[in-house]
Amino acid sequence: MSADIRPAAAGAKIRVFKNRNFALLFWGIAVSNIAHVFFSFAIGFYIYEITIPLFGASDAEIIKAVFIALSGILIVILSPIGGVLADRWNKAKIMYVTDFIRGLTILAVGAIVFLVESNVFKLIALFVMEFVLAANAAIFMPAARSLLRFIVSDEELQPGASYLQMSDNFQAIIGLVFAAMLYAKIGVGWIFIINGIAYVFSAVSEMFIRYEHKQSVDETLDLKTVFSDIKVGFKYLISEKAIVAIMVMALMINFFVSPIFSNGMQNWVYFRFAEESTYLFSSFMDRTSWYGAFSISLSIASILMSLVLARQKTKASYAKPLKRALTGFVISMSGLCALLVFYYYGFVPINAVLIGGIILMFICGLGLVAFNIPLSMVMQRKVRKDMLGKVSAVSGTLSQALIPVAAVIAGFVIARAGTAIFFIGSAVGMIAVMMWFLPNKASNQI
């Protein structure tokens, strides 16, 4: 890594919002993200609603795990192709076309939720929708991740990245505050409609983003060219040993962390927490509201850390900050798993879980952003502009490759061995990965 690093100029964090392209990107994504929080909150519980009457609780958990895995598999397979397209085609155009497709797809499934009585047909529609959404997300994400460097100056890069990260979490807070209420009051069908309209709005905003797009000299795009470009991105990535160490660590951490949120926590809320007749603030907060409160706590911490990082100068090395952030994140996540295990075995009451969970999720949020933003800066600065799309896609694929497998395994473990055993395995796995990464010599080169 070059030591010739320019510090963020004073006021860059403010000027970035005067950049028309950044503002369009920021607000377009903001609207769709808020609505997508409603959607993500509701979809897991809705799958339980339509599958438990059909298949029973245990098999419903497995079906939900397969649903989650479908999205992950498609993203892992198609993201490298999305990276190739992001480096060859106009990134803004990729974003608004895929957002239009996602919006219209969700609106169509929302209509099915309203008009069709059959739970079997609704379940099939949800799987088809997830296929379309995941395929488009795989094309969208490499373009979105690599666009920032093309629409802001070097001085605006870290503030821009920090504010986008902060925006994600602020949107999550707004979304989660209303998600449980909307799910209870207006139903999942209207949440689909709101989310679909928001994606269309986001697409319209992205249509007005302009930047200097240089077309590839060779515009032919066939399967051979795609795989050749993916190979180039992979070779470029593995030549950076420090980044390889991070990717391996992220691959294993994601394997243990992602199903905690996608499988374990929702299962706990829907089944075990539902057995509690009284708990803290039960007079005005139901169990889904508490589930939202956990995520809100994480998001508030993420916003605070994003604000802190937005005011910091760019560093020559991020090795120590990344390791500190990883340690804080793993300890707090493992603590959350331990708290839930103690609850399942009757050692702690529900109110201790609720209060402790809020605190631990807050610490998780601090560590998560303290890790993600510096990592984003490392990728943005070390990778050539013309390679950003494919390298970003390949790195994302490598770091997320095991998430679909993790979702399916988690579903089977929860269904057959129990949720407490799942949380124990997750905590042990996270700690083992952290203990491998911290003394790793390659990670000191970040």
- Map out the domains of the chain with their CATH numbers: 21-210+222-445 (1.20.1250.20)
SS (H, E, C) 87-133: HHCCHHHHHHHHHHHHHHHHHHHHHHHHHCCCHHHHHHHHHHHHHHH
219: pLDDT confidence band, cut at 50, 70 and 90? low
81: pLDDT confidence band, cut at 50, 70 and 90? confident
Mutual orientation of helices 287-310 and 20-55 as an angle, nearest 10°?
160
- As given in the structure block, the two tokens for residue 14 are 């403010």
Note the pLDDT tens digit of each residue in 22-52: 888 888 777 777 777 778 878 888 898 999 9
Mean pLDDT, to the nearest integer, of 134-163?
A: 80
CA distance 180 to 195: 15
Note the pLDDT tens digit of each residue in 222-261: 667 767 777 777 777 777 777 777 888 888 998 999 999 8
AA letter at 313: K
368: pLDDT confidence band, cut at 50, 70 and 90? confident
Cβ 341 vs Cβ 352: under 8 Å: no
Cβ 407 vs Cβ 263: under 8 Å: yes
**Three-class DSSP category at 127:** helix
Mean pLDDT, to the nearest integer, of 268-284?
A: 90
CA distance 68 to 396: 17
The mean-pLDDT minimum among 83-87, 96-100, 190-194 falls in 83-87
The percent of residues above 70 in pLDDT, for the chain, comes to 85
Cβ 32 vs Cβ 198: under 8 Å: yes
CA distance 403 to 138: 14
On the question of pLDDT at 359 being above 80, the answer is yes
Q: Cα separations (Å) of 280 from 122, 287, 352?
A: 35, 10, 9
CA distance 28 to 113: 26
AA letter at 400: Q
